[in-house]
Amino acid sequence: MSWLHAARQRLDDLFAGDVRDSDLDEEIAYHLELETQRQIAGGCDPVTARARALARFGNPRHVTDAARDARGTQPLEGCMQDFRWALRSLSKSPGFTALALFALILGIGATTVAFTVLDTVLLRPLPYRDAGRLVFITERTASHSTLPPSNPNFESWRDGAKSFDGVASAMFPFSQTVWPSASASDAVRVPTMGVSRAFFAILGVSPLVGREFSGAENAPGGERAAMVSYEFWQHHLGGRRPLGVVRINDSPTPVIGVLPPGFQFIVPADVYLAHEREPSTMRSAHNYMVIGRLKAGVTLAAARSDMTALSKSLLAEYGTDTQAVDADVVSLRDHVVDDYRIMVTIVFAAAGLVLLIACTNLVSAQLARGWAREREVVVRAALGASRGRIVRQLVLESAVLVAAGTLVGAVLAALAVRLVKIFGAAFVPRLNELSIDGRVLGFVAAIAAATTLLVGVYPALRLANRDAGLALRSRGSGMTVRASVWRLLVGFEVALAVMLLIGSSLLIRTLHNILNADTGFDAQHIVTAAITPNDSTGDKLEQIRRELAALPGVEGAAYTNQLPLTWGNSAGPVRRTTDPLDRDWPAMAGFRVVSPDYFAVLRQPVLRGRTFATTDRVGAPNVAIITPGIASKLWPGEDPIGKTIATNYLFNDWLTVVGVATEASSWTMPRGAQNEIYVPLAQHLSRTEGQLVVMIRTSGDPHALVPVVRSRLRELLPTSPAQLGTMDDRIARSAADRRFAMLALTAFSLIALLLAAVGVYGVIWYIVATRTHEIGIRMALGATGAMVRREVLGAALVMAGTGIAAGVLGGIVTTRYLQATLYGVSRLDPRTYIIGAGIALLTALLAADVPARWSSRVDPMTAIRGDG
Amino acid sequence: MGKEPGELLPGTFEMLVLKALSLGAMHGWGIAERIERLSCGVCAVQQGAVYPVLQRLLRRGWLVAEWRATENHRRARYYRITAAGRRQLDAQVEWWRRSIGGVDRVLGAAAQEA
């Protein structure tokens, strides 16, 4: 019957472990009571009797653990026991547990968020069907690589390329006024994008509702039709069915389809139109985005050589009409992600460093705790726990910690991912797709496992390997060796934190430099209002401008067809009178239509000649103001005033240069100045492409004036809504990728600093605690508290200093990868390194000062008497 | 392992616990005290070491345990040896005697016997 009994015992143990533990506790209590009584009977006073009873019994906790070890051998039971042991052991040192969890949550949370971003932006295919086969095609001219092609070149590619199942194009989006229904009185201004035949089919997106443009609709003379984004359909059309009719710039247009939620092609748009109804015929223009879907089995390289051959034959066929000498084919994903690849990678690497610091912290804390627990482990081993069992228990303890930290870290990361998605989607491509998927979960599981191995196995093995006899008999031995291992770990942490500090402060300086870079004009205090002039006359526009300029708090107002810092699709070559109609002239320039006050309102200096005047109107000679780059290219060493040029693909419309204005950052910050040709609005009213922007200089905060301008414009232009903003915000947005990396790196370096501070605090506290005895003796011999404190701080200084030196070296090596993103600051900028090192040093000393102060207040007598 | 409590040969302490209990059911302290007294203090161990051994013997079915009131009306856990336990004890004693006899003969060997 004994096997039956044994089985029952084990079942009882398994299901009632805690009850049995309390049985054991009661047994031990009773045992100690009996032994105490015996000692009293033998003539001891009660206190001594109790102490002797305890001494004869041994450490009750170790006995409990050993008894529990002895009880079970079934794997399941053993694991549950070890699990309970781990929980109990962790709850016995709440300080350590809280600190470890804190570090793990930060490290794992940060890494998870960074990986989610990396996964979404860089690893996942674009959200189109079979997106791996999508490519982005651009053309090369003799002087420029990767320019967008013209519509005729796109059509030739579509007809002639053999590598693709389909080639499609889209225009750069621009804002138009849309009335949600034929009878609606309130209109909205939304970005619209023209697309070619079968664009969505080739891209691999099916409309959620309705259909995409038919071949007949998307051809010259086709019926008007529009597709809308899901968001536009919901917000402005009330999700209505049938989809009905909208008015676009006063033309009733039936809505034929709705795109899926969240759909966008490179940049968001709300209304999609069929651009092949009115095909552009200028072969030398550069204004279409072209995609292709590779045929199955065709490689990128094959497509490239196909396109090169095609470009050569087009060049032979069209000669001077086309500018393209070659074409370039890249995967669409690479094109979309572009500059952000490096940012996202940097942020992920930084998060990895944070996790590494968290792990280091944990390892050092585990080791420290392990040394404190050495006796316990040795006794357990003596009482019959095998070495494997002890290692298993210690590793399980780390695993329990890591599992808890991972769980909380992942939940926090999920929340942070939502925030990043909300706030980052406008700035970083593809963040609108941000989500946690199976790969992210797999990654989290993998880092949790790696973290467990890193923080659990080494300390456990180390602990379990300790020579039993040595540890039992001499408590202080090997202390210096241990402290030096620990110091090394903390120094490593400090080094990593310093590297992150250097990286983030380089990015902070970069962002600051970009935002304060010389734009060539005064961007502060400018309100911008995009309006649709429709058929407003020049006089009507001038009246609106005057009304706005007369508003209180407004210093002046001017028109442009295109704001500074907006990507334009009107850059084109510039022809001199002496140039034949050759295909590749030396200068390219943007083309901006502005009103006379433009340069005054923007405070963009006119360097030579004159600015525009009201006399530059239709009938008067056509004039232009150019930037110095054009002058030096076209007429080196000559005075450009009075010369004549033609541009914007009207190569026989001659303009007389009347002035030279400073180059301004016209497209992006900080890429800065491009060549621009400015022409007066009065002479080019028809060239504004249905859009004008009023720029209003305010004397105070421009944001305060936005509502005032909006309501005044509503009165002046009741049928067409304005889109308002400020130039400040536009500049801020232009540095969004760096801001993203800067914010992430700053957050990570602060976390790293905090963790390193905790590490320093821990090791210094340990040093002080193990030397209390020594400190007591020295103070008894006359050392003052201040001296002791100074000495402890000195130890911290040495440790932190070593780490900082290593961190600075690490920074010198690793900032190479930041090089491409920096602006206006050298990656080896000494000030940045000094600041980073200084912050780390200060933090380390502050962290060390707490135990140092404590050490200076040691009471010599107590310290010497205690066994320290 | 097993060397620490009382510096006994491995398995010996188990045998002593079984033997102590073969004289009558007893609680943990009583077992430790009984072994100590019967060995005249030679086999004095850390008393706590009794409990892991008791757990091991319980698991093998050589003991049973139950909570009982003591003479002074307290609750104590008493251990009783089972039939299997007695058989085990007999086997162990047998083994012990043989080992001791062997060791003894070696130790008592005179020079000419070698």
pLDDT for the residue A792: 86
Residues sharing a CB contact under 8 Å with residue A561, sequence separation 6 or more, in sequence order:
A592, A593, A594, A681, A687, A688, A689, A691, A692, A693
pLDDT in tens, A483-540: 677 788 888 889 999 999 999 899 888 888 877 777 778 888 999 998 877 667 788 8
Which residue has better confidence, A266 or A370? A266
CB–CB contact A31 B28 (8 Å): yes
Q: Which one of A4, A9, A26, A27 would you mutate to disrupt binding with B, by most B Cβ within 10 Å of its Cβ?
A: A27
pLDDT for the residue A641: 92
Q: Which residue of A has its CA nearest to B33?
A: A35
Closest approach of chain A CAs to the CA of B111, in angstroms? 37
Q: Which one of B13, B33, B36, B47 would you mutate to disrupt binding with A, by most A Cβ within 10 Å of its Cβ?
A: B47
pLDDT for the residue A371: 64
Which residue has better confidence, A708 or A4? A708
pLDDT for the residue A803: 93
Using CB atoms, pick whichever of B1, B53, B75 lies closest to residue A381: B1
State the Cα–Cα distance between residues A162 and A9, nearest whole angstrom: 78
Above 0.90 for ipTM, yes or no? no
CB atoms closer than 10 angstroms to residue A812: 14
Q: How many CB pairs under 8 A join A and B?
A: 96
Is residue B2 over pLDDT 70? no
Of the pLDDT bands very low, low, confident and very high (cuts 50, 70, 90), residue B114 is low
Which residue reads 């205690």 in tokens? A866
Average pLDDT, chain A: 83
Percent of chain A with pLDDT over 70: 87
CB–CB contact A60 B28 (8 Å): no
Q: Which residue of B has its CA nearest to A9?
A: B59
pLDDT in tens, B37-90: 888 877 767 888 888 888 888 888 899 888 888 777 778 888 999 999 999 999
Residues sharing a CB contact under 8 Å with residue A612, sequence separation 6 or more, in sequence order:
A594, A595, A596, A598, A623, A625, A658, A678, A680
Highest mean pLDDT among A35-44, A251-260, A526-535: A251-260
Using CB atoms, pick whichever of B27, B32, B56 lies closest to residue A70: B56
Residue type for position A18: D
Of the pLDDT bands very low, low, confident and very high (cuts 50, 70, 90), residue A15 is very low
pLDDT for the residue A476: 44
Locate A251 and state its tokens: 């033309």
Beta bridge partners of A169: A290
pLDDT for the residue A867: 47
Is residue A642 over pLDDT 70? yes
Q: What is the mean pLDDT of residues A802-806?
A: 94
Q: What is the mean pLDDT of residues A444-459?
A: 84
Is residue A162 over pLDDT 70? yes
pLDDT for the residue B9: 64
Of the pLDDT bands very low, low, confident and very high (cuts 50, 70, 90), residue A167 is very high
pLDDT in tens, A303-346: 999 999 999 998 888 877 777 788 999 999 888 887 778 888 88
Which residue has better confidence, A514 or A69? A514
Q: What is the mean pLDDT of residues A808-833?
A: 88
pLDDT for the residue A292: 95
CB–CB contact A35 B75 (8 Å): no
Greatest Cα pair distance, chain A, in angstroms, is 127
Give the lowest-confidence range in A155-169, A463-477, A847-861, B86-100: A463-477
Using CB atoms, pick whichever of B28, B76, B84 lies closest to residue A2: B84
What value, to the nearest 5°, has the Cα angle with vertex A496 and ends A852 and A844?
A: 15
pLDDT in tens, A724-735: 889 888 877 777
pLDDT for the residue A16: 46
What value, to the nearest 5°, has the Cα angle with vertex A302 and ends A298 and A307?
A: 115
Closest approach of chain B CAs to the CA of A813, in angstroms? 51
CB–CB contact B52 A384 (8 Å): yes
Q: Is the dihedral of CA A133, A136, A137, A142 positive or negative?
A: negative
Is residue A839 over pLDDT 60? yes
pLDDT for the residue A413: 92
Q: Which one of B3, B4, B63, B78 would you mutate to disrupt binding with A, by most A Cβ within 10 Å of its Cβ?
A: B4
pLDDT in tens, A579-625: 776 556 677 788 888 999 999 999 988 998 999 998 888 888 999 99
Chain B residues in contact with A30 (beta carbon < 8 A):
27-29, 74-76
CB–CB contact B82 A5 (8 Å): yes
Whether A390 contacts chain B with CB within 8 A: no
Chain B residues in contact with A9 (beta carbon < 8 A):
58-59, 61
Of the pLDDT bands very low, low, confident and very high (cuts 50, 70, 90), residue A471 is very low
Give the DSSP H/E element, type plus range, for residue A192. strand A188-195
Closest approach of chain A CAs to the CA of B17, in angstroms? 15
pLDDT for the residue A611: 92
Which string of b and e fits A85-121 if b means at least 16 CB within 10 Å? Answer: bbeebbeeeeebbebbbbbbbbbbbbbbbbbbbbbbb
Q: What is the mean pLDDT of residues B88-96?
A: 90
State the Cα–Cα distance between residues A565 and A674, nearest whole angstrom: 11
Which residue has better confidence, A22 or A103? A103
Using CB atoms, pick whichever of A9, A27, A382 lies closest to residue B58: A9
Q: What is the mean pLDDT of residues B100-109?
A: 85
Which residue has better confidence, B53 or A5? B53
Residues sharing a CB contact under 8 Å with residue A459, sequence separation 6 or more, in sequence order:
A363, A366, A367, A370, A394, A398
